């Protein structure tokens, strides 16, 4: 590209392969890309949302309703489109649920902004208006949020259940919601901190979703090391040793210099004695079960079996940590300083068959701080999608316990915000007022889409919703099953406050960032090599650098 200097001499500042799009062309290219991303997940929103089947280049198939999963699998490479994908990723990290909502709002904000740009409202003005509106929206939501305490198990179950609505877990959501709440409550530390990583998920193909269960303890993907060890130990003291029950070979290599058979025997005896001593150390502290991070020598296995100790070798260090949290034990690095107090306890430790695999179950633990959810389903795809729904659900329960605030669902908060923001717009002067109004309009996309996806008339639904909110019913939302407007709080459709505040915040930030770009300078080919046939000139047609989106558009059409 060239820039004309005063003397009329062109100055080349960009390399031959670079592409540059400026001004309104850049804006409209980016807006189109962002909107296309949102459009691609819109049909999955809500209880009646559809699923997507994503096939990767090697033929792997994912069937999902989860916004963030769809966008990650889609392999989008347009930079502005990726900013919208990031919105869903932030949402996933911060709350775990609401990834579709966040992206759909971002897309609608871009759509509204596009109209304002056409009316010559400056992007900076739109950005300011959007930010003010988002700020106000957060206030309104916070003011109207419902308090939930940690011992309100019933509400927590409703929250867990709402997050699963419309997903693979739906058919058994009553059972699963209870399991999720119990799991999160179990792994909550005394100081209130929660790491849902401590809820392990074990997927089993076979059996029905209804047979899913929660194990208060850990399931380790190992078998006992020796067949002469017990299958099952009850009331087990569990030792966790991150080391090897072996005499290190190097030591022998260094010392043995055999000149006659007696000498060899002596060294072997010596080795055996050391192994026996190690096992004795475990026996002395009263271990019934031992998980060893490294190997266990055959001779040590023999002694352990003779003592009736169930031993597992090569346990991963993450498994050892999990076991420590599950049993209340401590992982020791050396057997020399193991003490009775280092041992954990489990009501039962045993090898069991699960979905055709043998695993070690460490269960019946009182106050286990690490638990395992066994999810069952008919096929691999079913259990994979079940896992994603459960993860959303774990996220919302955790968020609710952290924040203690929830909102009614079914489009209730968005309808309320839309009304209140229109009022608020009057108090905002200048052209920003238009942006605030546009923001209010954009939020309607959620109830509208919920209605559309449920096969309802979106206009009728919006009119009903607005009338009820005008009448002061904050919790009035759309029942996607009957099409009626009902009190969502009474219905038990509730979501954490943060699902909505985070969605609005990230969507606004991403939209604003995209709007403020008026110049796209790409080193190399923005279109990812797909413009090979029309690559005859330096000039790129407006909106042409969107090979990534081209592929996606095709995909959107196919679905």
Ligand X SMILES: Nc1ncnc2c1ncn2[C@@H]1O[C@H](COP(=O)(O)OP(=O)(O)OP(=O)(O)O)[C@@H](O)[C@H]1O
Enumerate binding residues for ligand X (CB under 6 A). Answer: 44-47, 49, 65-67, 97-101, 162, 165-166, 392, 409-411, 446, 450, 478-480, 493, 495
Which of 73/97 has CB closer to Mg ion? 97
Instruction: Taking the CA atoms of 62, 65, 66 and 70 in sequence, report the sign of the dihedral they define.
Output: positive
Pick one of Mg ion, ligand X, none as the site partner of residue 160 (Cβ within 5 to 8 A by kind): none
Task: Catalytic residue, from 21, 32, 69, 99: name it.
Answer: 99
Partner whose footprint covers residue 527, from Mg ion, ligand X, none (CB < 5 to 8 Å by kind): none
- DSSP conformation class of 294: S
Question: Residue 421 to residues 111, 136, 398, 412, 425: CA-CA distances in angstroms?
Answer: 18, 8, 30, 14, 6
**Binds 99: which of Mg ion, ligand X, none (CB < 5-8 Å by kind):** ligand X
Q: Is 99 tagged catalytic?
A: yes
Q: For ligand X, give the closer residue by CB, 408 or 545.
A: 408
Smaller CB separation from ligand X, 229 or 504: 504
Distance CA 320, CA 440 (A): 51
Report the nearest approach of ligand X to the CB of residue 325 (Å).
Answer: 28
> Which 94-113 positions form the footprint of Mg ion (CB under 5 A)?
97
- Closest CB to ligand X among residues 307, 491: 491
Tokens of residue 446, six digits: 């959620």
Burial label, 283 (beta-carbon count in 10 A; 0-12, 13-18, 19+): middle
162 binds, among Mg ion, ligand X, none (CB under 5 to 8 A by kind): ligand X
**Cβ atoms of 506 and 130 closer than 8 Å:** no
Strand partners, 349: 233, 362
Q: Which stretch binds Mg ion (CB under 5 A): 93-101, 305-313, 354-362, 459-467?
A: 93-101
Partner from Mg ion, ligand X, none contacting 552, C-beta within 5 to 8 A by type: none
Burial class (CB in 10 A: 0-12, 13-18, 19+), 35: buried
> How many residues make contact with Mg ion (CB under 5 A)?
1
Nearest approach in angstroms of CB 444 to ligand X is 13
Give the number of other Cβ atoms within 10 Å of residue 191's Cβ. 6
Q: How many CB atoms lie within 10 A of CB 142?
A: 12
Q: Using an 8 Å Cβ cutoff, are 315 and 222 in contact?
A: yes
The one catalytic residue among 100, 101, 372, 415:
100
CA-closest candidate to residue 368, choices 192, 193, 217, 261: 217
CB of 168 vs ligand X, minimal distance in Å: 11
Query: At its nearest, how many Å lie between Mg ion and the CB of residue 97?
Result: 4
Least distance from C-beta 105 to ligand X, angstroms?
Answer: 9
Say whether 9 sits in a helix, a strand or coil.
coil
Q: How far is CA 511 from the centre of its chain?
A: 23
Residue 451 belongs to what H/E stretch? Answer: helix 445-453
Choose between 421 and 494: whose C-beta lies nearer to ligand X.
494
165 or 400: CB nearest ligand X: 165
- Closest to Mg ion by CB, 97 or 489: 97
Shortest distance, position 491 Cβ to ligand X, whole Å: 7
Q: Which residue's CB atom is positioned nearest to ligand X?
A: 409
Instruction: State the minimum distance, in angstroms, from the CB of residue 134 to Mg ion.
Output: 21
Query: How deeply is 546 buried, as exposed, middle or buried, from its count of CB atoms within 10 A (0-12, 13-18, 19+)?
Result: buried
The catalytic position among 392, 444, 464, 479 is 392
Q: Which does 51 bind (CB under 5 to 8 A by kind): ligand X, Mg ion, none?
A: none
Q: Residue 493 binds what, of Mg ion, ligand X, none (CB under 5 to 8 Å, by partner type)?
A: ligand X
Q: Say which of 25, 51, 66, 297 is annotated catalytic.
A: 66
- We find the least distance from the C-beta atom of residue 410 to ligand X, in angstroms, to be 3
384 binds, among ligand X, Mg ion, none (CB under 5 to 8 A by kind): none
d(CA 117, CA 134): 19
* Neighbouring residues of 260: CB distance < 8 A, sequence distance ≥ 6: none
Measured at the CA of 312, the angle between CA 306 and CA 316, to 5 degrees, comes to 160
For position 66 contacting Mg ion by CB under 5 A, the verdict is no
Q: Is the dihedral of CA 246, 251, 253, 257 positive or negative?
A: negative
Residue number, 129 or 411, with CB nearest to ligand X: 411
Query: What is the C-alpha to C-alpha distance for residues 436 and 425, in angstroms, rounded to an integer?
Result: 6
Residues within the interface to Mg ion (CB under 5 A): 97
Q: Which residues are catalytic?
A: 66, 99-100, 392
């Amino acid at each position: 590209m060239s820039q004309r200097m005063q003397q009329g001499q062109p100055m080349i500042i960009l390399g031959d392969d670079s592409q540059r799009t400026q001004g309104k062309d850049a804006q409209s290219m980016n807006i189109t890309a962002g909107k296309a991303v949102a459009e691609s997940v819109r049909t999955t929103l809500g209880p009646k949302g559809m699923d997507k089947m994503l096939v990767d280049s090697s033929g792997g198939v994912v069937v999902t309703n989860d916004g963030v999963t769809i966008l990650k699998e889609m392999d989008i490479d347009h930079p502005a489109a990726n900013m919208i994908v990031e919105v869903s990723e932030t949402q996933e990290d911060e709350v775990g649920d609401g990834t579709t909502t966040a992206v759909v709002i971002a897309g609608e904000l871009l759509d509204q902004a596009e109209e304002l740009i056409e009316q010559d409202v400056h992007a900076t003005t739109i950005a300011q208006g959007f930010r003010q509106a988002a700020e106000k929206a957060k206030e309104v939501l916070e003011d109207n949020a419902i308090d939930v305490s940690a011992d309100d198990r019933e509400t927590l179950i409703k929250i867990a259940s709402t997050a699963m609505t419309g997903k693979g877990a739906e058919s058994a959501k009553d059972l699963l919601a209870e399991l999720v709440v119990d799991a999160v409550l179990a792994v909550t530390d005394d100081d209130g901190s929660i790491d849902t990583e401590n809820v392990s998920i074990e997927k089993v193909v076979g059996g029905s979703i209804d047979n899913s269960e929660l194990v208060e303890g850990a399931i380790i993907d190992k078998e006992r090391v020796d067949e002469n060890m017990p299958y099952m130990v009850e009331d087990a003291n569990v030792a966790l040793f991150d080391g090897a029950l072996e005499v290190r070979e190097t030591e022998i290599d260094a010392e043995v210099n055999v000149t006659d058979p007696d000498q060899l025997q002596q060294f072997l005896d010596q080795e055996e004695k050391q192994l026996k001593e190690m096992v004795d150390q475990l026996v002395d502290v009263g271990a019934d079960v031992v998980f060893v991070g490294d190997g266990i020598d055959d001779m040590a296995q023999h002694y352990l079996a003779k003592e009736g100790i169930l031993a597992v070798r090569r346990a991963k260090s993450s498994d050892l940590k999990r076991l420590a949290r599950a049993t209340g034990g401590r992982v020791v690095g050396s057997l020399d300083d193991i003490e009775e107090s280092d041992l954990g306890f489990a009501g039962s430790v045993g090898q069991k068959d699960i979905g055709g695999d043998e695993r070690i179950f460490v269960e019946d633990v009182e106050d286990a701080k690490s638990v395992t959810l066994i999810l069952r389903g008919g096929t691999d795809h079913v259990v994979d999608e079940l896992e994603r729904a459960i993860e959303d659900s774990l996220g919302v329960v955790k968020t609710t316990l952290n924040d203690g605030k929830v909102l009614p669902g079914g489009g209730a908060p968005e309808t309320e915000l839309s009304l209140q923001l229109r009022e608020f717009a009057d108090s905002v002067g200048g052209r920003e007022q238009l942006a605030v109004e546009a923001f209010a309009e954009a939020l309607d996309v959620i109830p509208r889409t919920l209605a559309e996806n449920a096969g309802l008339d979106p206009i009728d639904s919006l009119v009903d919703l607005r009338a009820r909110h005008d009448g002061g019913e904050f919790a009035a939302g759309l029942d996607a099953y009957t099409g009626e407007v009902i009190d969502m709080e009474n219905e038990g459709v509730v979501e954490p406050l943060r699902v909505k505040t985070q969605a609005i915040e990230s969507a606004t930030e991403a939209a604003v960032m995209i709007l403020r770009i008026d110049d796209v300078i790409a080193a190399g080919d923005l279109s990812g090599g797909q413009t090979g046939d029309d690559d005859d000139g330096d000039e790129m047609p407006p909106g042409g650098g969107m090979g990534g989106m081209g592929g996606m558009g095709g995909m959107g059409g196919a679905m």
